Amino acid sequence: MPKTQLRKLKIENFRALNNVEIEFGDYITLVCGKNGTSKSSILGIAAQIFSFDKDYVKNEKLSFRQITGSSFKSQYTEHFRISDKFDQPGSMIVKIELHDGYTDQEATARLELMKREKSPRPVVRNNSTVKKGENSSRNFAHPVIFLSLKRLYPIADRDYKVSDFDYLREHRQDFIGLTNELLNRQSSLATGTQGSISSAVAHGENYDHESVSAGEDNAGQIILALMSFRKLKEEYPDYKGGLLLIDEADAGLFPTAQINLLKILDRECKSLDLQVVMTSHSPTLIEYIHTQSQQYRRKYKTIYLSDTFGGVHVMRDWSWAQISADINTRTVAATSRVFLPKVNVYFEDKEGADFFLALMDRQPIKKYIVPLSGITLGCSNYLELIRKKILEFSERSIICLDADVARQVEGRNLRTIVLLPGGLPPDQLIFQYLYNFPADHDFWKNDLLFTRAVFTNNSASEVLREFSINGNTVDIKECVAAYRGDKRPREIFKRFYKHAEFQKLVTSPYNPWKHWVKSHPEASNEFLRNVEMVIRGVMSSGYAVDVNKLTVLKIRPKRA
C-alpha cells in the first residue's frame, strides 16, 4: 500500500527563515536549536500542507475522527498568529516536496501567504497532483495531528469534565500499557477528560486525573494521538499513513521517559506508517536522535537550527559535540589528554578479525578498542546475548559481524553491531577478489612469489574443484547458490582461508585485506563511519562518558 510522506521543505522566506532547506526522515525528524530559531514555525508549515476531509482521487468525503472526536487536520490559527502588519502576501514562500500516497507519485507544491477575506493566510498552490484544468490551490489529503504547546496548559486552570471516549474504553489496557512503558510506571486505571483540552491519563488507585503531573498528562496526549492513528488504520481501508507533529516533545518528561518515548515512536512509525516531526531543547532527545541518524540516515533526521553566525541556518553534518556546545553557548571541550575506556570488539571468526584490523589500519580511533580475535561466536549467539540484555554485548562492546547477516539485523536497532563491508563472508570475499585478478596483475608480483598459479594450485584448489570454478573471473554468490555437493560451503572456504600458504600471505607485508581496503575507499569509509558512531554510543551509554569528550573519536578517511 503506497503511503504519503513529506520529503523536503525549501523555505525561501518566512519570518526568520530565509533559504532554509529541511529534509525529513521516513520515521522521526527532530528539529532543535536555541529559542528564536523558528522551530515551531517549521511544524506549522508542515501541518498547513495537509487536510483530511476529501479523497480527491475517488472524489469521496472523509469524515474520520480522532479518539476524542477531533478531526485529523490542524487549522492555521492553531499554529500561526498572523500579523496584519508584517505577514503580508508574499512574505511566506515555501517549496514542498513529498510522495503522495493517493496518486502514488512524487509531488510538489508551494505554500504562500495569500489574502483571503480580511487577513492573509497560508494557502497551498500549484499542487502537482491536480488534474489539468482543475483548481491546483488545494491541500494534499493526509491525516495530521498537531500537538502544540496548548496541550501544556496547566491542569489546575483547565475547564474539563470526565469523558469516557468509546475507543479508549474498548482499548483501555492498550492505553495504560503504552503509558506505563513510556513513564516506567505501573498504573492500572485510565480516565479521559474533555473541556479546554481533550486528554486522557493513566493513574493508580490511590490518585486520579485530578492529581496527575504535567508529564503524565503530556504522555497521555501523545499516546492518545498514536492510538488515534491506530483507530484510523483499523477503520479506513485506504489508509496511507499519517503525520504526527509534537512541539516540545520532552515537556514534563524525565530523561528515561524521553528515551522510552523515542523507542515507542520508532515502533509505531513502522507499524502505522507514521512520520513524526517534533521540536525539543532536550540534550537527551537531541543526542539520541543524532546518534540514530548517523546509522539510519533515511529513517531519522536531526535538523539543528542555529543563528550563531547571523540568520538562521541548518547546520549540516555537525557532530553532537558541536550541537551541544552551540545550544549551551560554550566552546567545544578541548581534546588533549582525554582518557577514555577501551572497548572490546568481538567477531564471528578470525577472517572477520583480519578484515577488521586492515580496515582500522592507521586509524587514530584504534587506540580505544581491543579486538578479541581469539573469542569467536556465531551471529545467532551474539544476537541472543544482546536480546538477553547481557551488558557486555548489548551496551559495552562492539560486535563486528559478517556482511551476509544484514537481513538478520536490519531494522532491529542493535546499537552495538557493525557489519563488515563487501556483501559476502570475509573468506568468500577475499577469494573472489584475488581470483578475479589476472596473472599479470601487480598484486601477484610480490617478494613471496605468491603468484596466481600458487594461489590456484594450493589454498584455492578445493574451492575451485568443489564449485567447478574456471575461467578468468568468478561470482561467488552464484557459485554457492548453485552448489549441489555434499560438503558445507562454509567449511570449504574456511579451509581455504586457513591454508598455511594463504596464511603466509595474510601475515606478510602483502596482506590482501589491506589491498582490498585501498581499492574500496568508499565502502571502507562507510564502515569506519559506522564504527565511529557505534563506539561513541557505547562509550556514552555503556560507560557514561561525557559526550563532549568523544570528539577525539574520529576516523581518518581512506583515499584511493
pLDDT band at 528; cut points 50, 70, 90: very high
Residue 304 has pLDDT above 60, yes or no: yes
- Same domain assignment for residues 544 and 504: no
- Judged on CB neighbours under 10 Å (0-12, 13-18, 19+), 314 is buried
pLDDT band at 86; cut points 50, 70, 90: confident
> What whole-number distance in Å separates Cα of residue 529 and Cα of residue 521?
12
Q: Is residue 335 part of a domain?
A: no
**What phi, psi does 454 have (nearest 5°)?**
-65, -40
Residue 46 has pLDDT above 90, yes or no: yes
pLDDT digits 0-9 by tens, 29-39: 999 988 888 89
pLDDT band at 15; cut points 50, 70, 90: confident
Q: Mean per-residue pLDDT for 475-492?
A: 94
> What whole-number distance in Å separates Cα of residue 26 and Cα of residue 296?
10
Least confident of 244-253, 262-271, 274-283, 336-345: 336-345
Q: Is residue 558 part of a domain?
A: no
**Which cell is 85 given?**
502588519
- Same domain assignment for residues 362 and 390: yes
- Same domain assignment for residues 179 and 198: yes
Least confident of 83-87, 272-276, 429-433, 467-471: 83-87
More confident residue, 116 or 481: 481
Question: Based on the structure, what is the number of domains in the chain?
Answer: 4
- Same domain assignment for residues 11 and 36: yes
- Same domain assignment for residues 283 and 301: yes
Q: Are 443 and 461 in contact (CB under 8 A)?
A: no
- Same domain assignment for residues 404 and 513: no
More confident residue, 447 or 545: 447
**β-pairing verdict for 199-203 and 189-195:** antiparallel
Q: Is residue 55 part of a domain?
A: yes
Q: Mean per-residue pLDDT for 213-224?
A: 89
pLDDT digits 0-9 by tens, 534-550: 999 998 888 878 777 78
pLDDT digits 0-9 by tens, 52-69: 999 999 999 999 999 999
Whole-number Cα distances in Å, 48 to 4, 272, 320? 15, 21, 31
Least confident of 238-247, 346-355, 384-393: 384-393
pLDDT band at 433; cut points 50, 70, 90: very high
Least confident of 4-8, 100-104, 303-307: 303-307
- Same domain assignment for residues 108 and 161: no
Task: Return the bridge partners of 95, or none.
Answer: 10, 110
The pLDDT value given to residue 316: 76
**What phi, psi does 381 have (nearest 5°)?**
-65, -45
Q: Mean per-residue pLDDT for 89-98?
A: 92
Whichever domain contains 139, its CATH number is: 3.40.50.300
- Same domain assignment for residues 44 and 135: yes
**Which cell is 238 given?**
485506504
- Same domain assignment for residues 101 and 11: yes
Q: Is residue 560 part of a domain?
A: no
Q: Mean per-residue pLDDT for 510-514?
A: 96
> What whole-number distance in Å separates Cα of residue 531 and Cα of residue 554?
10
- Same domain assignment for residues 238 and 135: yes
What percent of the chain lies above the pLDDT cut of 90? 61
pLDDT digits 0-9 by tens, 327-341: 877 766 544 455 788
The pLDDT value given to residue 336: 45
Q: Is residue 300 part of a domain?
A: yes
Q: Is residue 494 part of a domain?
A: yes
- Same domain assignment for residues 142 and 182: no
> What whole-number distance in Å separates Cα of residue 533 and Cα of residue 528?
9
Q: Is residue 255 part of a domain?
A: yes
Closest to 536 (Cα-Cα) out of 454, 416, 442: 416
pLDDT band at 230; cut points 50, 70, 90: very high
What percent of the chain lies above the pLDDT cut of 70? 96
* pTM score: 0.64
pLDDT digits 0-9 by tens, 398-424: 999 999 988 888 777 788 999 999 999
- Please provide the average confidence, as pLDDT, over all residues in the chain: 90
The pLDDT value given to residue 410: 77
Domain of 510 in residue numbering reads as: 426-519
- Please report where in the chains the cell 491542569 appears, as a residue: 155
pLDDT digits 0-9 by tens, 129-187: 998 888 899 999 999 999 998 888 776 677 778 888 999 999 999 999 999 999 988 88
Q: Is residue 333 part of a domain?
A: no
- Same domain assignment for residues 532 and 513: no
Q: What is the 3-state secondary structure (H, E, C) of 82-98?
A: CCCCCCCCCCCEEEEEE
Q: Are 40 and 245 in contact (CB under 8 A)?
A: no
DSSP of 465-499: HHTT--SS---HHHHHHH--SSS-HHHHHHHHHH-
